[in-house]
Homo-oligomer: A and B are copies of this chain.
Amino acid sequence: MSASPVKIGLCGLGTVGSGVVDIFQASAKLIAKRAAVPVELAHIGARRDRPGCDTSAYRVSRDIFEVATDPDIDVVVELIGGTTVARDLVVAALEAGKHVVTANKALIAEHGNELAALAESKGLALRYEAAVAGGIPVIKALRESLAGNRISSVAGIINGTGNFILTEMSSAGRSFDDVLAEAQALGYAEADPTFDVDGTDAAHKLVILASLAFGIPLAIDGAFTEGINVIEPADLRYAEELGYRIKHLGIARRVGDRVDLRVHPTLIPSDSQIANVNGVLNTVMINADAVGEVVLVGPGAGALPTASSVMGDVVDLARLLGRGQSDPIPVMGVPQSDVASLPAVPREQVESAWYVRLRVEDRPGVMADITRLLSAEGISIESLIQRPPKAGSSEVDVVVLTDNASTGQLDRAWLAIEALPAVKVAAGRYRVEEFKGE
C-alpha cells in the first residue's frame, strides 16, 4: 500500500452525506484494504453543521465550490440534491479535472447527457449508482454485468417513499397524509415530497435505467408519469379483493425498434414476489436475451443504504486512481457518440389489462350500459365487483377488470362511460400487469 491516498471531497451533509461520513469513520481500514490504497475523506463542503455528525476531524468549507476546485481532491461526491447549484458544482468539478460521484437522479435525468459528454471529453468518471434504487447495485448490473445482453425490459418499484406510503395505506388502512408525515420523520421523504408522490422521482430513475438498458439519450419527457397521489384507499381494498396489490411501478420496455417508458400505479397479482416487496424496499427486474430475468431487491432509501452505493463508486474509482488509471466504463454504458434515440411507442397503442372504478346510481340498466360501451370498443370484461349501496345512499361502486386493451380503446370507452348520466364519479383506472418478479 505504497500509493498515495485517494482524496475524496464531499459536498452536502444531508441524510446521505452524513451516511458517507459514518462509513468513512467506521470502515476506513477495511476500505483501504479493498481499494489497495488509502481512501481519505479530505474535504467536506456544507452550508452548516449537521447535528450528530462529527466533522471535527475533517477540513470543512461553507462554500461547496471550494471543495470542487480544491487541488488536493481527486473525487468530488455531490450530495446536495437539486438541479441548479448541483449542476454548476458538477460542471465546476469536472472542469477542474475531478472525477464525480453523485446520488442525484434529477441531475442525471435532466442534465446527464451534457454532463456525460463533458466527463468523457475530459477522460473523467461520472458515477451515479446511488441515484437509482438506493442500496441496490442496479446501475452496475446494467452497465457492467449484463454488458453481453440485449435488454428487453427493466421494471420495478423504484421509489422507496412511495412504496412505504402505499404499503402502510394498504396493510394498516392508514391515510395518505398520516403515512407521508411518518415517512418524512423517518428521513425517507424529502421536506418537499412532491417528486415522491407525483411520480417525478420514479420517472427520473426510470429514464436513467432506460438509457442504460437501451443506449438511448436521457429524456425526462419521454416517460408517461402518474404518481401515487391519485390512489384512493378504496382502490387498494378492491384490488386486494380481486387478488391484486397496487404498486407504483416504473416500466421501460423495448418493443421492436421502439421504447415504452411509463411510471404509474399498477395492479399486480398479490402472490407475486414483487407484490410482497414492501415498505421502503425497492426492486428492479431486468429481462434480457442471454440471462433471462434477474431480480434485485434491497433498501431504496435511507442514509446508510444510499451511502453504501456512493462508497461502491468511490472504491471503484480509488482502485483505478491508485494505479494511475482512468474509468474505463462509458458514463451511460456506451460512449456518448454511440448513444442513439429510439422512437416511443405511441401511448394510445400501449396494451394492458385495466382496472376501472366508477361510482354510479343504483338503478336498473346502468351495468348494461357500462358493459355495452366497453364491448363497443372491443374490450372484454375479466371480472366485476358491484356492492349493494350503503344505508341511506343511492350510489354504488362498480369495479371492472378488463382483458388486454390498448390505451386508445380504454380512453374512448372511458369518455363514453363518463358521459352516462348514471355515472356520478369515474373514479380511477389503472393498468394491470402480470409481473412475477421471479
Contacts and interface: CB of A to CB of B under 8 A. Distances in A.
B136 A23 contact: no
- Copy total for this chain: 2
Interface string A8-27: 00000000000100110011
Interface string A296-326: 1111001011011111101110011011011
A79 to B, nearest CB: 14
A292 interface: yes
A281 B293 CA distance: 10
A215 interface: yes
Indicate the member of A36, A145, A273, A326 with the most B CB atoms within 10 Å. A145
Contacts of A144: 137, 140, 312, 315-316
A323 B328 contact: yes
Contact of A305 (B33, B290, B330): B290
A152 B298 CA distance: 16
Nearest to A334: B33
Contacts of A85: none
A148 B312 contact: yes
A389 interface: no
Given A290-B304, A296-B296, A305-B290, A312 B146 contact: yes
Given A135-B291, A140-B140, A311-B148, A325 B326 contact: yes
5 contacts: A36-B328, A147-B315, A273-B276, A290-B304, A323-B326
Interface of A: 19, 22-23, 26-27, 30-31, 33-36, 129, 135-137, 140-141, 144-150, 215, 273, 276-278, 281, 288-299, 302, 304-305, 307-312, 314-316, 319-320, 322-323, 325-326, 328-330, 333-335, 338, 437-438
